[in-house]
Structure formats: structure tokens, C-alpha cells
Amino acid sequence: MAGKVTLVGSGPGDPGLLTIKGREALEAADVVVFDRLISPCVLALIPERAERINVGKQANHHPVPQEQINQILLEKALEGKQVVRLKGGDPFLFGRGGEELELLAAHDVAFEEVPGVTSAIAAPAYGGIPVTHRDFTSSLHIITGHARAGKPLEIDFEALVRTRGTLVFLMGVQSLADICNGLLAAGMAPDTPAAIVERGTLPDQRRLNATVETLPRAAEENGVVSPAVSIIGPVCSLAERFDWFDVLPLKGRRIVVTRPRERAGTLAARLRNLGADVFEYPCIRTVPLVPCPEMEAAVARLTDYEYLAFTSPAGVGCLWDMLERHGSDARALGGVKLAAIGTGTDRELRKHGLRADYIPAVYDAAHLGAGLAEICTGRVLILRAELGSPALTEALDRGKISYDDIHCYTTVYESEYAASLKALIQSGKLDLVTFTSASTVKGFAASVGACDFSRITGVCIGEQTAAEAKHHGIPVIVAKRADIDALVDAILHV
């Protein structure tokens, strides 16, 4: 296949603002060339097989020069690779996207551009500032505040003031005083409303409101640093009334989500949409046991069983991987009844067109076992992790129900983020850690190692999870029900 370069705008910071087309391009990439300030959640969408090239500026390092970036894009595309060039905001708005295409065009390399949500509009929006409003202004002007080294700004301030439009300055923190003085000297009224939004759309976004006369001082006094956009115009007066981001219920909260990567998404996104600063640190990984002759044999004689029981979505996944390897499908399960520990596992079954016949009222191993003991008269096949909770089989034993307890995956307790996780806990800035199973607690404790957990709170999905957390000295609160809704609810009421 011929190589191609896709310029993708990743948006201003909130990972939810990546476009669907941008995500699709990332998921299909062989090579991703990215700048700094791209959200780790967006980078997490890059397939493992893809090569990642960071050309952004790093501590003590200079960014890769533009010519070299152009060259990398060209070379990779000529090798036949699907190359994604991931840039902050919109690639064509002060993003040098155009320059990167020139060399490709000269070599007849195919390219595409996927526009992104620009910080010029999104940062004001998350600060409660609509960049246009019929009562205030009829135009929007986006200006770079960047001056070439040692040179004055090349901005026609008179022309800007004459437009009476909303003015948005990017790259202008350093030159804010020159910008505002330029506008005042060109005749702008000193009491014209103005604002600056730092780290717009990110959980630690700050907005300051002032006037064009007082903005530089306000920014300096509050230590505003790049990246920030400055907005000048009457629309800034709407900010207090329209602020919706700073008033989100979890604003300012730092929360760690420990779920395995493939399941973290929904919980993390929900907490983020409530304003929390979410750190996704998967602390466990499930590794299927392949081949798994016991599971294969049991599935081959499924008619021996009345119930097939799953204690996690991972167990369902392992069974399906096995069926697929054998070129089989859901029909292999025949008429066996299905039991799931909770709604998450049931949802995994539904992905395959099946639904659980039984889900206990309380989503844990003890209740699954006790419930099955009541409704089942035949034999139960359990497909679950090595070292699964004994509460399930103990309850079946008590009910005199026969079963086969087959282990189809192992849980690995580790985190590639252990060092940063520990630093975050020790900084005292972390509020909450969510635990969706006892094994995520084990993974968290094993990754971090010896540490004082007394200043964090573990938000636990159920009693077994809470018991494990307490065992490691983590203060806990427990969700009213063992599901994600109740977990989010518990966090809202901390």
C-alpha cells in the first residue's frame, strides 16, 4: 500500500475533544509523530504496534527542527507507512501544518488533513466565553502574539480596534503587556472587558477576568504561563454568568483510576466530564492462559452443566478467544444457562448476543455462589481467574452444588506507572483512588510498594474490595451498589 500522511488536530487538551475521524486515523496508524502537550489519553489510542516519534520540546531538550520533522514525515510515507502527524488544537491554525505539507506535495506523497478543535475557541468556551454573541460583536479575529526574537510585534493594532470584533491572541503570554498597550494606544477603551484562559479545557484550567488595561498586571500577579489564550472584547463580560466548567462537581479533585486499560475508559471519561483531574494508572493486566485444555474440554461437554458462571468480563473474553481460535461461535454454548457476577460481565455477554439468566442482587462472588445454590440443581462450570475468590466455591459447597472451577486467565499485578503513581501519592495532592475489584487493590499496593496511604481515600465498589484496601492501610468508602453508577455517586458525595 502507498504511504500517506494524515495531519490530525488533537484538540486543545480535553481528550474528549479529539474528533471521531482523528481517532480513526490514529487507530489505523503505523507511525505517529507528535508534539508535546498532547493528552496522554489521546496518545493511549495509538496502537501498540505503531511507532511513536516524539518531536516535541522536552525538559532540557530542544524540539526537533521543523525541517527534520518534514523529512521524517516524507521518509516514513515513502516507506509505505500510514503516518499520522498529531498536532495540538487545529493543525492549520498557527500549527505549521501547511509547512509540513509542502515537502510531501513536492514528492507527490498522499496526504490528508483532519481539522481539530482549536484552543482559540475551546479555551474561551470552557471559560464561559462565547467568542461571538449577537449583542456584542459580529466578528472574531485570531492573532499570534509571538514576536520573532528581538523584533517588535507585527500587529496592526489600529485595524484590529476598528473591527470592534472579539480578539483572541495565541502564544501571547510573554508579550501580553505589548499587546494590551498596543490596543490602548490605537484607541481601544481601557475598560474593554478582557480575559486570559490558561491550560484551557484541562482539569487545572484557570481563567482570569480583567480589562484590556489591567489584564497584563493580573496575569503577572497570578503567575499565568503558557499555554494560554487572551480574549479581548465585550463577550468576556459573560464569563461569570456562563461559566460551566469551574462549577463542575468534581472540579479540583484528583482521582486515580486503577482499572485495566481496556475497561478504564468509561469510568475515567465520566469522572472527567464531572470536572475531575483523572489519572489512568492501570494496575492489573489479565493474561489469558493459552492453550487452556481444561476449558476446551469443559466447553466440549457443556451439556453436562446447568449453568456457566462468569466472575468478570475477562472470563467472557477468554472463552470467546478460544471459540474464535476454533472457528466456532456462540452456538457452541447451546442451551446452557448463563450466570454473571454483575452488570459489567453481563454487558460483555451481550456483546456476543447473549444475556445472563442470573445476576445476583449484590455483585460479588459470595452472592453469586449463594444465588446459584438456590436456583441450580445441576452442575456449574466456572470460568475465571487463577486465585479467584474462595467465597464463590464455598457458597456452592454449602449448597451442595457440584461444579468445575476452571482457570482461564491469570492476573498480573503491576503498573508501568508505578513511579509516577508513588510520586503523586507522596505529593499529598491526590484525593481519591477508585478500586473496582480486590485485584485492582492488590495491583495498586504491589505497584506502589511501601507507602503511607493515610492521606488518600479508596473508593471501593464493594465490601470485598474495601476489605482488601483496609488490609493495605487505605482509608475507604464503599459504593452503595457494586456498579459504576454507584461508584461515581459515592465519589460525588465524598
**Residue 136 DSSP label:** T
DSSP 8-state class, residue 14: -
With respect to ligand SAH, which residue has the nearer C-beta, 120 or 487? 120
DSSP letter string, 231-291:
EESGGGGGHHHH--STTSTTTT-EEEE-S-HHHHHHHHHHHHHTT-EEEE---EEEEE-SS
User: Which residue lies nearer to ligand SAH by CB, 90 or 113?
Assistant: 90
Distances 455 to 262, 423, 476, 489 between C-alpha atoms, Å? 28, 13, 11, 21
Tell me if 226 contacts ligand SAH by CB under 6 A: yes
Rounded Cα gap, residues 63 and 50, in angstroms: 21
Residues 6+ apart with CB under 8 A from 359: 339, 340, 341, 342, 343, 346
**What is 343-404 written as a DSSP string?**
HHHHHHHHTTT---SB--SS-SHHHHHHHHHHH--SEEEEEEETT--HHHHHHHHHTT--EE
Q: Which of 70, 119, 434, 465 binds ligand SAH (CB under 6 A)?
A: 119
90 binds ligand SAH (CB under 6 A): yes
Q: Which residues are tagged catalytic?
A: 35, 57, 171
Q: Report, in Å, the least distance between residue 190 CB and ligand SAH.
A: 24
When binding is defined by CB under 6 A, the residue of 17, 176, 197, 264 that contacts ligand SAH is 197
Residue 245 is a binding residue for ligand SAH (CB under 6 A): no
Per CB under 6 A, 371 contacts ligand SAH: no
Evaluate whether 306 touches 379 at the Cβ level (below 8 Å). Answer: yes
Q: Which amino acid is at 41?
A: C
- Written as nine digits, the cell of 127 is 471559560
Tell me if 128 contacts ligand SAH by CB under 6 A. Answer: no
State yes or no: residue 193 binds ligand SAH (CB under 6 A). no
Residue whose CB is nearest to ligand SAH in the complex, by number: 89
Question: Could you write out the DSSP letters of every residue in 31-88?
Answer: EEEE-TT--HHHHTTS-TTSEEEE-S--TT-PPPPHHHHHHHHHHHHHTT-EEEEEES
- Window of 86-94, 211-219, 434-442, 460-468 that interacts with ligand SAH by CB under 6 A: 86-94
Measured in residues, the chain has a length of 494
Which of these, 308, 144, 133, 326, lies nearest to 227 by C-alpha position? 144
Per rule CB under 6 A, is residue 125 in the interface with ligand SAH? Answer: no
**Residue count, binding to ligand SAH (CB under 6 A):** 23
Task: Please select the residue that binds ligand SAH; options are 93, 370, 408, 478, rule is CB under 6 A.
Answer: 93
Among 3, 15, 22, 95, interactor with ligand SAH by CB under 6 A: 95
Considering only 124, 127, 200, 216, the residue that binds ligand SAH (CB under 6 A) is 200
User: Nearest approach, Cβ of 278 to ligand SAH (angstroms)?
Assistant: 16
**Stretch of residues binding ligand SAH (CB under 6 A), selected from 88-96, 289-297, 299-307, 465-473:** 88-96
Please report whether residue 315 would count as binding ligand SAH according to CB under 6 A.
no
What cell does 342 get? Answer: 454483575
Instruction: Name the residue nearer to ligand SAH (CB basis): 202 or 490.
Output: 202
Does position 123 bind ligand SAH by CB under 6 A? yes
Closest approach of ligand SAH to the CB of residue 14, in Å:
8
228 binds ligand SAH (CB under 6 A): yes
Comparison of 170 and 318: residue with beta carbon closer to ligand SAH: 170
* Part of the chain binding ligand SAH (CB under 6 A), chosen from 57-65, 119-127, 330-338, 400-408: 119-127
Q: Judged by CB under 6 A, does residue 264 bind ligand SAH?
A: no
Q: Pairing state of beta strands 379-385 and 337-340? A: unpaired
* Residue 292 binds ligand SAH (CB under 6 A): no
Among 178, 136, 129, CA closest to 157: 178
Q: Would you say 36 or 217 has its CB closer to ligand SAH?
A: 36
**176 is an interface residue for ligand SAH by CB under 6 A:** no
Name residue 341's beta-bridge partners. none
Residues 1 to 30 in contact with ligand SAH, rule: CB under 6 A: 12-13
Q: What residues line the site for ligand SAH (CB under 6 A)?
A: 12-13, 88-90, 93-95, 118-120, 123, 170-171, 197, 199-202, 226-229
